[in-house]
Every structure is written in structure tokens, then in C-alpha cells.
Structure 1
């Protein structure tokens, strides 16, 4: 079961608090970032099993970019204005599109 804190900034999974994704993300942007996140997490697993440390590093960087775009890492989304939030996810999508 996933619960949210009353302020909506955090989700709680098995008693551990994690930053929630930015609720202002447009649905298409959220879907694209989640797609990139899933692909990157899969790449981390695959590269790890293969013992390819460089590929693991690159895949983890893509996980970081996707999670930052979602607002789960980096500057807290609730401290950013609308322009900064849009710039955050746009930059993440640009970065992920390059890889």
C-alpha cells in the first residue's frame, strides 16, 4: 500500500518516505519520463549482470535524469515556480532523448 503524506510531497512505502513526483507534470510528460525510467532501470540490471561497470554508470545516470525530471530528485518541486518546473522536465527529456 502506498500512502501520501497530508501535504502530498511524499509517498510512504513500507514505512519509508520517498519524494512524490511533481503533480503538475502533464500526463504525456509523466508517461515519457516513466518510460525512460523503466528502460534505464532495466539497463542497470542488464549491465550489472554482465559486469559492465561503464554501462551501469551510464544507465544510473539515465535513472537520475528521469527521476529528476519527475521531480523525485534535485530541487524540491514545491519550491519551484511553474517555469522552473517546466524547465526541469524539459531538460530531463532533452537529456534522455540524447541517450
Structure 2
């Protein structure tokens, strides 16, 4: 059995559905190199959350979770929905992101 998840976009393109659950999609206006950098930061931050949990280090966990949040906002997956932002606001969001 494959553990690969299949993501389908909703007809409006704003969300992906994974295992029956709807999640906000990454901003499609993001240049691929920026999106790749932000996804890399997101994965690094998620690994740091796990390390902090295993170490039972609350301060490190908080810092790692803040990094996760910052990457998700920069990707357009949290915060003001990307479809409600102008192109300039969207660009400012990802340029202010981590990394």
C-alpha cells in the first residue's frame, strides 16, 4: 500500500483536498524558485518542531512553530487569503517571508 497522498484542487483553485480534508492552496502567483525556498524552510521548521518535542524543549518548540507559521503565511496558506490580496500585497507577503 502506498503512503503517497493525492491532492486535488477545488474548482476555484483556492484549496487542495487531501484525504478528504480541505487545506488552503499555496499562492499560484509565487515564482517556483521562491516557492521551493519557502517549502524547504517549512520542512526544516517542521523537523525542528519534532526535535524540540523529543527534547521536551518548550522554547525551541515555540520558536520552531513560529518558523512553520511564517513559512505558511509566506506561501499564502495562512493569514489573509491570497485571492483577497493585490499582486503587490502578495509579492510583499512572500518577500517578507523567512529565508
* TM > 0.5: yes
TM superposition score normalised by structure 1: 0.93
Which contiguous aligned blocks of 4+ residues in structure 1 show a shift greater than 2 angstroms? Answer: none
Tell me the C-alpha RMSD between the 2 structures: 0.6
Matched, 1:49 2:54: yes
Residue 89 of structure 1 corresponds to: 94
Matched, 1:21 2:26: yes
Query: In 2, distance between residues paired with 1:39 and 1:16?
Result: 24
Matched, 1:68 2:97: no
Larger helix proportion, structure 1 or 2? 1
Gaps of 5+ in 2: 1-5
Q: What is the aligned residue count? A: 94
